[in-house]
Structure 1
Amino acid sequence: MTTQLADPPQTAAAKARGKWWALVFLALAQFMVVLDGTIVNLALPRLQAEMGISDSTRAWVVTAYALALGAFLLLGGRIADFWGRKRAFITASTGFALASLAGGLAQAPWELISARALQGLFAALLAPAALALLTVSFPGGKERGTAFAVFGSISGVGAAAGVLLGGFLTDYVSWRWCFFVNVPIAAIALVGVWKRVQESKAGGSTKYDWPGVAMAAFGLGSLVYGFTNAEHGWAAPETWGFILAGVALMAMFVVVERRVKHPLLPLRVASERNRAAAFLASFLAGAVLIGGILFINFYIQIVLGFAPFIAGVASLPMTVVLIVTAGITAKNLPVLGPKIPTAVGPIFMAAAMLWLTQVRADGSYLVNMLPALILLGIGLGLVFVPMQNLALFGVDKDDAGVASALVNASQQIGGSLGIALFSTVAAAATAAAGGAPMEALSDGYSAVFWWAAGFAVLIAPIALLLINISRSTFSGATSSDTPAVHL
């Protein structure tokens, strides 16, 4: 007979410390991925002037990243599951750092756009690997809730920090440092995960579903590209043509995934109602967060006349409130359960956007922006924490990577739709307003915020109708992987 001895107290304490250090480095990687979705935005005018880039080509500096990230996230999640999540993380961190270095050193537009596409490609492997490693490191209980609170708040913090850091670097150093800054961040995350995180990967068959890979990549890529082209008008062939192609390819993808033996996306991951609620909430929250923040910063810079760095500083209240709210939400999540905060958070988000509909050319930051930023931070903090938990709750450990990819893909596609739709709305409302330029722009931004409020409101009924997991199961009090439901 053999007897299994418990770990000595020193060993148990060391494991606990290692787990929390792992969270730091994994969250840092996620921060970098989200940061790069916005850090270049404020640098675009100066970058365009220095490199002689045309207006049409300028859009590809942003689009190339979003397109590669959205197209390959599902494949990245499966590679992480099959190849090894730690190995995938280290490879992706290295690739992301090298692509960032290439972007900072670029001398021609094609070099810069290629570097952005490579950043997106490696981010598509890095993001799901990081979230999957977090899921394995924190399998359940209150510690998992705290870990996911930190990780969940990164989406909002990273987007806002990208604006702040991008403005600072552009104003005081060079737009090239919007790329170079990723190199030390990636290096710290890589070394930390290499030393602190154990390898994990899926067992059993590790065959890739190549038809599914092709349909998912082209389908998601077509959707992102179509939404991005909406600035040319929704009636333009390059808009509706790619969107329809993307929808058709994703429908074919679902059919294929039902039939193949080793699917890229096991439909059980997306079809469970609580996780489905998380993916839908991620999609809508991405539209509000990424699209909304873009136009908030347009108003602060163009209408109120703030310099890029000062505009970034002006967005800090939202970030601070989001972090505080996420911490409070995580602490009380075992008692509240996921439904209440996911349903209440959108009310604060919608209230923020409705407040912003009152923006005027002669408005002020303290009156028109600050209250809305505080409300938005509260709403995002309430939504992101349970959303990240739900997206991975009860997922088989072999599917952790692809589930992580799906929640990231949902937010990315939502953000692309938000930017595209809101850009079209702003352009139409500005043109219809006439009058003084700043008045017309303010009217355009006001129309955008009405639409953003509508997107935010939709999250609440999704939470109320689909989330039915019990508080005890969600908090880790039960051992079953199958969510208990309230009848």
Structure 2
Amino acid sequence: MSQQTLHPAPVAAVPRRSGLVLAIILTCQLMLVLDATVMNVALPRIQSDLGFSATGLSWVMTAYSLVFGGLLLLGGRAGDLFGRRRMFVAGIAVFTLASLAGGLAGSAALLIAARALQGVGAAMAGPSTLALITTTFTEPKARVRALALFSAMSSGGFAIGLIVGGLLTEWFSWRAALFINVPFGLAIAVLAPRFVAEPERRRAHLDLPGAITGTLGVGALVFAFTHAASDGWGNPVTLGSLAAGLALLAGFVVLEARTALPLVPLRLFAERNRSAAYVNFFLAPMAMMSMFFFLTQFMQDIRHFAALATGFAFLPMAALIFTMSRLVPRLLPRYGPKPLALTGSVLMVAGVGWLALLTTDSTYLPALLGPLLLMGLGGGLAFAPLNVIIMATVPPEDAGAAGGVLQTMQQVGSTLGLAVLVTVFGSATRSAAAAGTTGPQLVVDGMTSAFSTAAVIAAGTVLVALTFRRATASARP
């Protein structure tokens, strides 16, 4: 195939329509991120209605994020090959149909299958969101503002998902948390072809061997950790899945190094700040997912919050994330990424560490509100610069791949993080039960062990943030 562009097209939308284009893209991104947590608040009711086991319940979350993260790289390359707007619209269509099927699911197996299909649609649309922003907003200041808003949707969407899930579950049913995607998805699918410009397509191929080994490798690792939560690390299935996952990921690295047009171009990691940003986009969601998954259950099962109250309990965190994301475009050119990411990471460590002190008698104020405020402030500072660092200077021909790698780090990090922390929870509860602990205290012991592990993971983001280069006049976005 020729290296020349296949279908020349304008790379920027009509200026007066750029606001509408951004609204379409951000709405899509909010839907995709929101669905990673919107079911959290509804988990107790889903378990009751469909008969999930305690450890199997995590697959309601994992099925979506695993497939989403595993196929994102392939989705990014497919956007380069077939057209980013086309993949964006097709992905939203698949995501919308899967949401409808999930809302109608009558069994645990059907719900998990629908959630996995949602992940397929999200992986098709997700990488194109960032790529379309970088090709639509070519003026540097406008691009930084758009990327900061994208970051707000990406990080704040987790907390918004809990609020929306609480509202819909309390007022209607857990099924409404899936049905709500249908009208928004249809609107995006209708409006995007009309208003979003199709960027130039460039030489690419799908790299199916890389996609298969990468996806199966991550899937095997997640399955190993989830299986260990219920059956222990000595189980042959657990050990076999772990070994297979590591071998497949090693094969993925070898394939990518030898492929002419890989899913993950190694040149994306040549710049130090960008490499560090990718690593933190992996570690931070690993730590944060423990808060969303376990804290919602703590509020409902231990403190007996209603679903609606549980959702609104996360409102201060969401508000802080959005506030900080609006401030970052002003702060980043002045101070550079290092002080912002470092401060945010330290605040996140403090927030998750505070949750490790929970007891069965802990109340919302201050035991829950304090950590949520620290996580909101820290997440807003730590995440917003990362999107800008990665996407603001990436060449247009690598925009799809860079966006795919970024979102892959986020989704795979949250998926592996949840699997690891569910394993820690399972091991801690078994040990506590053997020591004679019962009732709510048994559950809280498992949760605090998971939060302690998450704090250690979050501490890794501090170490990575220390490696950012200090900004110079030429290096600032």
**TM-score normalised by L of structure 2:** 0.90
Q: Does 1:442 align with 2:444?
A: yes
How far does the alpha carbon of each residue in 1:73-103 deviate from its partner, in whole angstroms, 9 at most, with x for none? Answer: 1101100111111111111111111111111
* Match runs of 1:9-24 below 5 Å: 15-24=14-23
Superposed displacement of residue 436, structure 1: 5.2
Q: Does 1:208 align with 2:215?
A: no
How far does the alpha carbon of each residue in 1:146-180 deviate from its partner, in whole angstroms, 9 at most, with x for none? Answer: 11111112223211122222222222212221211
Question: Equivalents in 2 of 1:79, 1:382: separation in Å?
Answer: 32
Q: Is contact 2:66–2:415 with CA below 8 Å preserved after alignment? A: no
Q: What residue number does 2:90 align with?
A: 91
Q: Does 1:161 align with 2:189?
A: no
Q: Does 1:394 align with 2:393?
A: yes
* SS at 2:116 equivalent: helix
Q: Which of the residues 205, 217, 220 maps onto 1:219?
A: 217
Q: Which of the residues 436, 441, 454 maps onto 2:456?
A: 454
Question: Equivalents in 2 of 1:138, 1:43: separation in Å?
Answer: 38
Superposed displacement of residue 239, structure 1: 3.3
Question: Equivalents in 2 of 1:436, 1:268: separation in Å?
Answer: 53
Question: Equivalents in 1 of 2:404, 2:226: separation in Å?
Answer: 21
* Match runs of 1:346-425 below 5 Å: 346-425=345-424
Q: What residue number does 2:76 align with?
A: 77
Greater shift after overlay, 126-135 or 221-230?
221-230
Question: Equivalents in 1 of 2:342, 2:57: separation in Å?
Answer: 38
Q: Does 1:426 align with 2:425?
A: yes
Question: Equivalents in 1 of 2:242, 2:139: separation in Å?
Answer: 39
* Structure 1: runs of 5+ lacking an equivalent: 1-12, 477-487
Q: What residue number does 2:129 align with?
A: 130
Q: What residue number does 1:199 align with?
A: 198
Q: Does 1:464 align with 2:466?
A: yes
Q: Is contact 2:84–2:131 with CA below 8 Å preserved after alignment? A: yes
* Match runs of 1:339-350 below 5 Å: 339-350=338-349
Q: What residue number does 1:314 align with?
A: 313
Change (3 A) 1:176 1:313: same
* Structure 2: runs of 5+ lacking an equivalent: 1-11
Question: Equivalents in 2 of 1:397, 1:14: separation in Å?
Answer: 15
Change (3 A) 1:432 1:49: closer
Question: Equivalents in 1 of 2:214, 2:438: separation in Å?
Answer: 46
Superposed displacement of residue 54, structure 1: 5.3
Amino acid at match of 1:49: S
Question: Equivalents in 2 of 1:51, 1:425: separation in Å?
Answer: 25
* SS at 2:466 equivalent: helix
Q: Is contact 2:147–2:388 with CA below 8 Å preserved after alignment? A: yes
Question: Equivalents in 2 of 1:23, 1:230: separation in Å?
Answer: 43
Q: Is contact 1:347–1:379 with CA below 8 Å preserved after alignment? A: yes
How far does the alpha carbon of each residue in 1:273-313 deviate from its partner, in whole angstroms, 9 at most, with x for none? Answer: 22211111011111122222212222222222111111111
| RMSD between aligned residues | 2.2
Change (3 A) 1:177 1:16: same
Q: Is contact 2:41–2:311 with CA below 8 Å preserved after alignment? A: no
Amino acid at match of 1:328: L
Superposed displacement of residue 386, structure 1: 0.8
Change (3 A) 1:256 1:140: farther
Question: Equivalents in 1 of 2:476, 2:21: separation in Å?
Answer: 21
Q: Is contact 1:66–1:224 with CA below 8 Å preserved after alignment? A: no
Question: Equivalents in 2 of 1:298, 1:28: separation in Å?
Answer: 28
How far does the alpha carbon of each residue in 1:309-357 deviate from its partner, in whole angstroms, 9 at most, with x for none? Answer: 1111111111011111111122211111111111111110011122222
Q: What residue number does 2:235 align with?
A: 236
Question: Equivalents in 2 of 1:423, 1:327: separation in Å?
Answer: 34
Q: What residue number does 2:276 align with?
A: 277
Question: Equivalents in 2 of 1:66, 1:414: separation in Å?
Answer: 9
Question: Equivalents in 1 of 2:147, 2:189: separation in Å?
Answer: 20
Q: Is contact 1:74–1:216 with CA below 8 Å preserved after alignment? A: no
Superposed displacement of residue 139, structure 1: 3.5
Question: Equivalents in 2 of 1:429, 1:261: separation in Å?
Answer: 46
Amino acid at match of 2:439: P
* SS at 1:472 equivalent: coil
Change (3 A) 1:165 1:237: farther
Question: Equivalents in 2 of 1:89, 1:264: separation in Å?
Answer: 18
* SS at 2:322 equivalent: helix
**TM-score normalised by L of structure 1:** 0.89
Q: What residue number does 1:9 align with?
A: none
* SS at 1:42 equivalent: coil
Q: Is contact 2:343–2:378 with CA below 8 Å preserved after alignment? A: yes
Superposed displacement of residue 459, structure 1: 1.0
Question: Equivalents in 2 of 1:142, 1:475: separation in Å?
Answer: 12
Q: What residue number does 1:260 align with?
A: 259
Question: Equivalents in 2 of 1:409, 1:14: separation in Å?
Answer: 27
Question: Equivalents in 2 of 1:143, 1:471: separation in Å?
Answer: 21
Superposed displacement of residue 106, structure 1: 2.4
Superposed displacement of residue 370, structure 1: 0.7
Question: Equivalents in 1 of 2:74, 2:236: separation in Å?
Answer: 28
How far does the alpha carbon of each residue in 1:391-419 deviate from its partner, in whole angstroms, 9 at most, with x for none? Answer: 22432212211211111111112112221
Amino acid at match of 1:221: G
Superposed displacement of residue 113, structure 1: 2.4
Amino acid at match of 1:442: V
Question: Equivalents in 2 of 1:257, 1:358: separation in Å?
Answer: 43
* SS at 1:41 equivalent: coil
Amino acid at match of 2:129: A
Q: What residue number does 1:4 align with?
A: none
Equivalenced residue count is 462
Superposed displacement of residue 424, structure 1: 2.5
Q: Is contact 1:140–1:475 with CA below 8 Å preserved after alignment? A: no
Change (3 A) 1:468 1:427: same
Q: Is contact 1:67–1:221 with CA below 8 Å preserved after alignment? A: yes
